[in-house]
């Protein structure tokens, strides 16, 4: 039951407990209790809105930064990852397999500010061996939402 509730909220965080109750066949009070417990247990970490900032006239520069690091004794990659994710520019930090170790998603106002972040804050961290920065040229889809182009139909067609 909790998985069903979480999937509904992940798809649309604005879904009310009453709507979730109707969708799952669970009493509204029970839905509210399960959501509150999931928040307390940090299963639900955040409610998010996906915004197309370009349409508002507030453009942002997004970059994917590959980071090669030397793992530290007894803590591996965790200590360096923590130092990186504490920077406000670091939107997302992943440990990945492949030719580099961490993938950092950075968002800032200009390419110059992203470059300054990499050269002045990220690269000098002890244990960082190197970085490769990829600037996003266009975002088409984020968190399941199409940002530009045709709007997807979200419901099934009715057939008779």
The C-alpha R_g of the chain, in whole angstroms, comes to 20
pLDDT, mean over the chain: 90
CA–CA separation, 111 and 93 (whole Å): 19
- In percent, the amount of the chain with pLDDT more than 90 equals 68
pLDDT digits (tens, 9 = 90+) for 103-150: 999 999 999 999 999 999 999 999 999 999 999 998 888 888 888 766
pLDDT digits (tens, 9 = 90+) for 142-156: 888 888 766 555 666
Question: 1-10, 34-43, 102-111, 147-156: which has the minimum mean pLDDT?
Answer: 147-156
CA distances from 91 to 44, 79, 155 (A): 18, 17, 31
Considering the entire predicted model, what is its pTM?
Answer: 0.76
CATH architecture of 58-138: 2-Layer Sandwich (3.30)
Domain locations in the chain as residue ranges: 2-40, 58-138
Over the range 31-50, which residues count as b (16 or more CB within 10 Å of their CB) and which as e?
beebbeebeeeeebeeeeee
Cβ pair 21, 8 in contact under 8 A: no
**pLDDT value, residue 55:** 78
């Amino acid at each position: 039951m909790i998985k069903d509730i979480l999937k509904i909220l992940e798809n649309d965080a604005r879904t009310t407990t009453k709507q979730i109750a109707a969708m799952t066949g669970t009493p509204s009070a029970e839905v509210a209790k399960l959501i509150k417990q999931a928040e307390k247990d940090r299963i639900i970490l955040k409610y998010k809105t996906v915004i197309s900032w370009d349409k508002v006239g507030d453009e942002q520069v997004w970059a994917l930064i590959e980071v090669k690091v030397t793992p530290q004794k007894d803590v591996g990659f965790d200590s360096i990852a923590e130092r990186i994710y504490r920077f406000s520019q670091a939107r997302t930090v992943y440990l990945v397999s492949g030719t580099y170790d961490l993938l950092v998603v950075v968002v800032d106002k200009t390419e110059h500010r992203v470059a300054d972040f990499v050269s002045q804050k990220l690269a000098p961290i002890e244990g960082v061996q190197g970085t490769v920065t990829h600037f996003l040229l266009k975002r088409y889809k984020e968190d399941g939402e199409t940002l530009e182009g045709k709007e997807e139909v979200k419901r099934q067609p009715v057939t008779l």
